[in-house]
Amino acid sequence: MSTNLASASSPPAATPPSRRRLRWLWWLAGTLAVLLILSVVAARLFDPWLRHKLEQTVADKSQGRYELRIGSLRTSLRQRTLTLRRVWLRPAGWPRQTAVPAGKEAPWLLLTVDEIRLAGIGLGALLKGEVVNVDTLLIRSVRARVLRTPERGGSGKALHEQLPERIPGVRLAHLLINDVRVMSGLHGHERTQLRHGQLAATDVLISRGAAQDSSRLSYAAAVELGVQGLEAQVPGHHLSLGAARFSSRGRQLRLDSLRVWPVADGQLARGATHITLWLPLLRLSGLNSQLLARRVLQADSLRLPSLRLVFGIPAKTPPPLHVALAPYLRRVQLRHLRVSRAQLQLTQVERAPRFVDINLTADDLRVDSAGFRDRQRVLYARDWRGSCGPGRISIDAPYYHFSWAALRLGTRARTLQVVRGLIQPTMSPDALSRSKGHQATHLTLTLPEVRVRGLDYWGLLHKTVRAQTVAAPNMDLRIIGNAHYPLGNALAKVTPENVRRLPFRIDVRELQVRNLDIRFKFTGELARRPGYFAITRLTGTATNLTNDPQRMSTARPAIIRATAYLQDQCRFSATAWVPLLDPEGRHRVVGHFGPAPFAILNSITVPTRSARFENGRVEDIRVQLQVNRQEVTGRMWARYSDLKVDLLSTHGGGRDKQKLTTKILSKAANVLVIRDDNPRRKGAALKDAPVRSDRDRRYSVFTIWMQGIVSGLLHSIGVPGKMAEELSEL
């Protein structure tokens, strides 16, 4: 019995370990199988659900204005990818759009995308509500058509503010948008077209912190942008761009083949701005792309080679450049700007200047309100250095134009040089007078070189002409006048009293003229042929040429000193003291003439005054003139000998232009009127003569000076006072 009890109380034998392990393996395999089946079922259900969710979200967010359709959506948990194909976005009911309620914006976009692929999605971070990392976002073959200009610029929220609240951010290691094409308009009337565009960005972090990170550009650490074949319509103009490339890592922007031209004639308002631009290349280097988010463009250099620009000046003065740029950029800063081999023409203005072969360099450009007000800058730059080739500008259009072979300038050096300048009429002397309807001076001025030093360029842009010296050597002036045409009623502009009426401030410390030749050709009222006269080798200076009341007064007048030769034979010198702010135009002149025969005047007196100096020689002439708005007065001391004058016939006469009557009159004049010697005899006192002549303000100040000299000379040789005055005024 004990044996049975012992056997009955002993425990049963243990299960073998191998059998237990096999059982757990079956449980694990079954669980995995169930999970696999569930994941397959979930995947098959998740893709349609996600596609429907995306389509429904677009409809809800756009309040039914847009429809999103996705041809294919596939997810892969193993590869952590999401792929969408044949995606298109269109207005609801397109092409028959639904009615838009009042106050709502009409749809404006059609969009199709061949493929959108996200790879390497951080699913764990997505589930935990952390920053979601994505290896790659690829958007391929984008086609967009803009139906109309959008009424609003967007929702007003930044991109990171549109993320779900539980996701603090999304980080894309690589973003690539490839083969983008854009058109605008309907029925083939495209206003904007982009044939090809692409965007590549690295380390794109869409979050609040990245939006405030100054080292990023639109959330990205680096951006590469390429554009080819862009055409657009901007206000009043068409724009065409061959290619563009932007690299934030390379800090460079490059534009190729940029063209701008106005819309068809008649579509622009009268007096509006017209621009025609051809720019083969624009290269912006050293660009600080991080500052662009703050609307600041900062770069090392901007190069514009072979620029061609025709700019139609608008009727209304355009705003300064920084004001025009203000909606887009708060400030533009460039260390260097270089324009080479450019051409510029300004139209819709009377002067219509044209410049070719322009080469300009600017240093330290700052385009903003502070740079505009800075007196140390000119047109926003610390220094402009440049030159241009042949150019032309109209003067007193359409009667004259000024042309040059070259211009050179430096704003910091305060220099300006004009090479081979020429002022000439656009028509013949007779045509000029007929066109103006009165006597018109026909002048041609050749300026081999004009050098300006100490030029205040900042003041020049603010209606103030200030310069230290202006030098113009070896000029040649040709003047043609014809008294057969009636005298106009307009007052002369070249008078001292007009300086105070100038609409701008002028302050030239010294004007230097060297070796100027002036040649006159004048046809008198009763003359059949013109007379000729020349002033050669004129050299002189004019100081204190200003209408600044602080610098100009009677005690400190402008002083003009000059020496020259009459008919290249008679040397004379003159000094004028001219208070340029005197409203009565009062000033004084003294002059001195050296030895010469009276016969040098025959080339002008014979055809215009019918008088010939048959004999006589000047030894010395001194003259003092006082001039105002009404007259010239003064004294003359003329020392001469053996004077004989012949009066000529205006009609007929022999080879010497004399008839019997003119010979008799000549004999009588020489015996009864003309003083043949002054002084009368050796050792006698020199007879001085008064100067008196009325001033006609329709003539320049130089004319009244000449009238005074003629009046004094006629008085000196014995012509009675009233007759001398009348003859001097002819």
What end-to-end distance do the CA atoms of the chain give, in Å? 175
Q: Which of 384-388, 429-433, 621-625, 726-730 has the lowest mean pLDDT?
A: 726-730
pTM, entire model? 0.80
Q: Mean pLDDT throughout 406-414?
A: 96
Query: How much of the chain exceeds pLDDT 90, in percent?
Result: 45
Q: Are 558 and 552 in contact (CB under 8 A)?
A: yes
Exposure letters 187-226 (e unless 16+ CB within 10 A, then b): eeebebbbeebbbbbbebbbbeebbeeeebbebbbbbbbb
Model confidence band, residue 656 (pLDDT cutoffs 50, 70, 90): low
Residue 15 to residue 728: CA distance in whole angstroms: 150
Does the structure show a pLDDT above 90 at 160? no
CA dihedral 9, 10, 16, 21 (to 10 degrees): 50
Q: Are 693 and 632 in contact (CB under 8 A)?
A: yes
The pLDDT of residue 707: 82
Does the structure show a pLDDT above 70 at 105? no
Neighbours of 620 (CB within 10 A): 13
Q: How far is CA 236 from CA 148, 231, 232, 275, in A?
A: 17, 14, 11, 9
By C-alpha distance, which of 545, 445, 437 is closest to 498?
545
Here the tokens at position 416 are 């300006």
Q: Are 642 and 680 in contact (CB under 8 A)?
A: no
The pLDDT of residue 23: 58
For the chain, the domains span: 47-94+107-148+165-234, 515-650+659-729
Neighbours of 618 (CB within 10 A): 23
Neighbours of 119 (CB within 10 A): 17
Does the structure show a pLDDT above 70 at 245? yes
Cα-based angle 79, 81, 87 (whole degrees, multiple of 5): 150
564-579 residue pLDDT tens: 999 999 999 999 999 9
The DSSP element (H or E) to which 701 belongs, if any, is: helix 701-716
Residue 502 to residue 161: CA distance in whole angstroms: 61
The pLDDT of residue 112: 94
Q: Which residue has 């009409």 as its token pair?
A: 106
Q: 95: cis peptide before it, omega within 30°?
A: yes
Does the structure show a pLDDT above 50 at 344? yes
459-511 residue pLDDT tens: 999 889 999 999 999 999 999 988 888 887 888 787 888 888 888 999 999 99
Q: What are phi and psi of 60, to 5 degrees?
A: -70, -45
Half-sphere exposure of 296 (CA within 13 A, CB side): 10
More confident residue, 171 or 675: 171
What's the helix, strand, coil split of the chain in %, to 5? 20, 45, 35
Classified as helix, coil or strand, 497 is helix
Strands in 28-168 per DSSP E: 66-76, 81-91, 109-119, 132-146
Going by their DSSP bridges, the two strands 331-347 and 308-312 should be labelled as parallel
Classified as helix, coil or strand, 461 is coil
Does the structure show a pLDDT above 70 at 728? no
Classified as helix, coil or strand, 562 is strand
Does the structure show a pLDDT above 60 at 666? yes
Residue 381 to residue 133: CA distance in whole angstroms: 46
Model confidence band, residue 7 (pLDDT cutoffs 50, 70, 90): very low
* Three state DSSP letters for 164-209: CCCCCEEEEEEEEEEEEEEEECCCCCCCCEEEEEEEEEEEEEEEHH
The pLDDT of residue 2: 43
Q: Mean pLDDT throughout 579-600?
A: 92
56-90 residue pLDDT tens: 988 888 888 889 999 999 988 778 889 999 999 99
Burial of 292 (0-12, 13-18, 19+ CB in 10 A): middle
Mean pLDDT of the chain, nearest integer: 85
By C-alpha distance, which of 513, 424, 413, 427 is closest to 467?
413
Q: Are 594 and 615 in contact (CB under 8 A)?
A: no
Q: Are 301 and 334 in contact (CB under 8 A)?
A: yes
416-455 residue pLDDT tens: 999 999 999 999 999 999 998 888 889 999 999 999 999 9
The pLDDT of residue 188: 47
More confident residue, 546 or 4: 546
Q: How far is CA 117 from CA 48, 182, 513, in A?
A: 17, 21, 78
Q: Mean pLDDT throughout 595-613?
A: 85
Does the structure show a pLDDT above 50 at 9? no
Query: How much of the chain exceeds pLDDT 70, in percent?
Result: 87
Model confidence band, residue 609 (pLDDT cutoffs 50, 70, 90): confident
Q: Mean pLDDT throughout 531-549?
A: 94
Model confidence band, residue 305 (pLDDT cutoffs 50, 70, 90): very high
Does the structure show a pLDDT above 70 at 216? yes
Residue 322 to residue 307: CA distance in whole angstroms: 22
What residues are paired with 99 via a beta bridge? none
Q: Mean pLDDT throughout 170-199?
A: 83
Model confidence band, residue 3 (pLDDT cutoffs 50, 70, 90): very low
Q: Mean pLDDT throughout 664-684?
A: 79
By C-alpha distance, which of 417, 410, 469 is closest to 447?
417
The pLDDT of residue 75: 87
The pLDDT of residue 398: 85
The pLDDT of residue 214: 77
Model confidence band, residue 307 (pLDDT cutoffs 50, 70, 90): very high
Neighbours of 596 (CB within 10 A): 20
The pLDDT of residue 678: 87
Here the tokens at position 279 are 């720019």
Model confidence band, residue 637 (pLDDT cutoffs 50, 70, 90): very high
The pLDDT of residue 354: 86
Can you list the alpha helix ranges (DSSP code H) found in 397-552?
Answer: 429-436, 457-460, 496-499
Here the tokens at position 80 are 């952590």
By C-alpha distance, which of 436, 611, 597 is closest to 524?
611
Q: Mean pLDDT throughout 107-114?
A: 87
Q: Are 273 and 236 in contact (CB under 8 A)?
A: yes
The DSSP element (H or E) to which 416 belongs, if any, is: strand 415-425
Residue 293 to residue 220: CA distance in whole angstroms: 11
Model confidence band, residue 714 (pLDDT cutoffs 50, 70, 90): confident
Can you list the alpha helix ranges (DSSP code H) found in 415-547?
Answer: 429-436, 457-460, 496-499
Neighbours of 170 (CB within 10 A): 23
Q: What are phi and psi of 494, to 5 degrees?
A: -90, 80
CA dihedral 125, 128, 129, 133 (to 10 degrees): 0
Residue 95 to residue 113: CA distance in whole angstroms: 18
